[in-house]
A and B are shown apart, each in its own frame.
Chain A
Amino acid sequence: MNEKFRRWLCGDTDVLENITDTTEIPDAPRERIKENVQTARRTVLKAPEAQRTMLLERKGFHAAYTAVAIVSCILLIGVLLFIVAGLPLYGQENVRADEVIKRYIESGLKETGAVNIVSGMILDYRAFDTLGESHVLFTALVCVMILLRRDKKNMRPDYEDYYTVREDVYFDISKDSILGRVGTFLIPCIFVYGLYVLLNGQISPGGGFSGGAVMGAGMIMFSAAFGFDTVDKFFTLKLSSYITFAALSFYSFAKGYVFFMGANGLDNGIPKGAPGAILSGGLILPLDVAVGLVVACTMFGFYSLFRRGSIGGASAGTVPTETD
């Protein structure tokens, strides 16, 4: 393991030639594949390139590597401590630095209509950053989909199928009666709580990201307690993509509209509402709902992709052909 890591660090790509690029579909059981990999490694080790790296190791490469790592860590710690010692003191009044914070605290309520100043800051004052941030999550979901969603390239139908089905049966906890019973009581509560956090983002601590995370956790628990088959009946890949698409494009266009009107000195005509009411804070509530939906879909999507390589539908062994 250690040796492999070090070689990887050296950037010897050809070492992996026989290991990672197996294009043929192996029909052998796992044990034989393991054997093949071991023989491949053994032949690789005999290569002159590998002998060179082994020689390098004998000369204390590993020791030197550890030493350099420790020294640079200590150096970094020292530098950071030195910087922290030079920073402005906590609690000390700093006229220059307080200009922005003061405005947020003093006139945040009046200008954004949100009692929760944090919501006002992230969804109104600095909404552009949050626009990016909500797309970061979406990007992560797309990356995981690319890596884990089953397709012809990362699935070996004959070979994987057997193990996937076996694993699915082995790890299926939906028949667990304790989980099912507790889930019956708990899941509605989790969803109601998630909705509460989501809808009250402009009044109390919470908002789109946290509410969405709670609802996503509820979805995960639901699928764990009642099995993926139950979830698939109402939550498919298509629905998930439509929700994400609608929420994110609503976000982009709503905020694009506000930016455009604001920059051109026009009134955007969005009512601020009475502070403290549910319908207050202008666009904050709809944006929170949009972000919450994206976060919930993303969290459940991660779980589902990691568990079985697809979001909704497409039971084990079938290669999804959908293009949406």
Chain B
Amino acid sequence: MDFIRNFPLFTIVFSLFSGVLCMMLPGKAAKYYTAAYECLLIFFSASVLWYTSVTGTSFTYVMGEFPAPWGNEIRGGVLEALIALTFLIVMLCSAFAGWHFLVQDIDESKINLYFTLLNLLTAALMAMTWTNDIFTGYVFLEILTLTSCGLLIVREIGRTTLAAVRYMILNLLGSGLFLLGVVLLYDITGHLLMMNMQGAIAEISKDSRQMTTLTLSVGILTIGLAIKSGLFPFHFWMPDTYGWATPTSASVLSALVSKAYIFLLIKIYWRVIGIDVLDRMPIGKILCVLGMCGIIFGSVSAMRADNINRMTAFSSAAQIGYIYMGIGIGGMAGYTAAVFHILTHAVTKSLLFLSTPRLAEVSDGSLLFKKLQGSALRDRQAGAFFLVGSFSMIGIPIFAGFSSKLLFSLAAVDSGSNKKLILVMLVLAVSSLLNAMYFIRTIIRIYTHPQSAAAQALSSVTAGSAAAQGLAAGTAGSAAEVTSREKQRRASGLRRPDYIIPSLVLIAANLFLGLFSWAVVDLIERGFGMFF
């Protein structure tokens, strides 16, 4: 057996151990330790990705001495490795780029605990990605739920505590429904390992009465994961959760945690239920409709938001809708688009959530749009990062968002159903329009100077000397602005490479997904090919 096959195990055990170790370290040491070992984890995942894509095979890894139906198993394939690699890169970038705010938001005696939670969350993400056993999925889903609540409350202000309570109640409801679904499936099939369950289910599904039971059980499980990932009727916890958390938490929660639930769902659909059996259930259609509703309603709510983080959070609700729409379209093309969008959203939303607090910092610490006027001019880096993120979300070519929208429309064409094609195209068109509206509104707002806007208004009303006076006032104002901006920047100490480099890495990942989407799509398709 090749040594690389051990790497998935190492990623899980190392990150569990690192979580416990970080409790013993002082805050700064925990940060550097986390960085070092996450680089190691990235190396492990990349090796597995290389190994599985070169050999063209997936492998199962027996946890202990007891093989298939008796012991636990994990599984390495192209898809798992790709998801794990992306998750780890985004995790590392978020931890570093948000450090500046972490120190402000968290009491210094608790920074090591924050990294403890972050590492346990990494372990849970890894285990949920690699698992080949549905109950292992549940155990680590519990860790994910608890750690994400911890990442929220760590800021210790009223709003995050309140948001965390709401988030926890909904998440526990979701966990409960998921557990119920797992228990029912176990009762029907007598197995917990994915492949054995699939065999049993393929046999059971021939009986129509049992098929109804099966459909309802899968439905309960799906609702559980949909609540946890924030599909349309359950998306209302998102703005508070993402809006007030410390930037690293917001980025990790929106970009990784909800995606891990969706990836587990996809894995269950393919490897437990089997895609042929699933096609006979109405679940796909329901998910498609709910996803479309999520896209539209999320975008409309984002337009009405008065706060940049709430807007970005509602946009997350819309993006989750896209992913579920891809799952609902079904077929290889639909799932490929969904997984591609998971990657796109992970690298884009983290970039957005890491740039908004910096825009707020140069605007009296307020995230309200009315205070943010001209903030990108005061902090050009953060403005540029936000610009890239929004272009990707809108779907401008060369960025990742464009490729995933293209993939969704191709999947709709491939699905062979006219109804689906028309609906998906319509929703894509409308949502792109809405996305463009609220993101471009934000961009205009953060890039227009308050003074020059006033000057323009003045010049349009009066003529001649009055306009000249107004312009003069405007330039004088902006000169004063420049010096104050410099002062602010020096004071905040934001010109640090540990913010810029992670953001550039995220932008590079975004461009890579946009420009070389064919390579990634090829990898995902090969991953699905060996997913049975």
**A contact set with B: CB distance below 8 Å:** 8, 11, 13, 16, 19-22, 79-80, 82-83, 86-88, 94, 96-101, 103-104, 111, 124-129, 131-133, 135-136, 138-140, 142-143, 145-147, 149, 151-154, 241-242, 244-245, 248-249, 252-253, 255-256, 258-265, 268, 320-324
Contacts and interface: CB of A to CB of B under 8 A. Distances in A.
Residue of A79, A129, A320 most packed against chain B (CB within 10 A): A129
Nearest to B158: A20
Contacts of B13: 252-253, 255-256, 259
Interface string B286-325: 0000000000000000000000001000000000000000
Contact of A125 (B71, B109, B154): B71
B300 to A, nearest CB: 15
Interface stretch (B141-149, B259-267, B421-429, B451-459): B141-149
A311 to B, nearest CB: 12
A86 B217 CA distance: 11
Given A21-B157, A87-B184, A129-B72, A260 B6 contact: yes
B61 interface: yes
Contacts of A242: 24
A306 to B, nearest CB: 15
B381 interface: no
B281 interface: no
A111 B69 CA distance: 15
B147 A245 contact: no
Contacts of B20: 135, 138, 244-245, 248-249, 252
Given A258-B64, A262-B65, A146 B143 contact: no
A302 to B, nearest CB: 14
B27 to A, nearest CB: 7
A139 B26 contact: no
B24 A241 contact: yes
Given A100-B69, A259-B9, A263-B62, A151 B107 contact: yes
27 contacts: A8-B162, A20-B162, A83-B220, A86-B210, A96-B200, A98-B190, A100-B191, A125-B70, A132-B136, A132-B142, A135-B20, A135-B120, A135-B123, A140-B146, A146-B117, A146-B153, A147-B153, A147-B161, A244-B20, A252-B17, A256-B9, A259-B13, A260-B9, A264-B1, A268-B65, A320-B109, A323-B112
B16 interface: yes
B280 interface: no
Given A8-B166, A146-B154, A263 B61 contact: yes
Contacts of B190: 94, 96-101
Nearest to B200: A96
Given A13-B159, A21-B157, A135 B6 contact: no
Main SS class of interface, A: helix
Given A100-B191, A249-B17, A126 B109 contact: no
A248 B16 CA distance: 9
Nearest to A238: B24
Given A16-B162, A86-B213, A136 B23 contact: no
A244 B114 CA distance: 17
Contacts, number: 218
A86 B209 contact: yes
B189 interface: yes
Contact of A149 (B70, B110, B244): B110
A51 B283 CA distance: 40
Contacts of B149: 143
Interface residues of B, number: 80
Contacts of B23: 142, 241, 244-245, 324
B364 interface: no
B107 A136 contact: no
B331 interface: no
Contacts of A140: 146
Nearest to A246: B20
A133 B243 contact: no
Residue of A11, A79, A99 most packed against chain B (CB within 10 A): A11
Interface in B2-23: 5-6, 9, 13, 16-17, 19-21, 23
B135 interface: yes
A135 B188 contact: no
Given A140-B146, A248-B20, A249-B20, A11 B239 contact: yes
Interface in B127-157: 127, 133, 135-136, 139-140, 142-143, 146-147, 149-150, 153-154, 156-157
Residue of A20, A98, A253 most packed against chain B (CB within 10 A): A20
Contacts of B135: 126, 129
A103 to B, nearest CB: 6
Interface in B61-113: 61-66, 69-72, 74, 107-110, 112-113
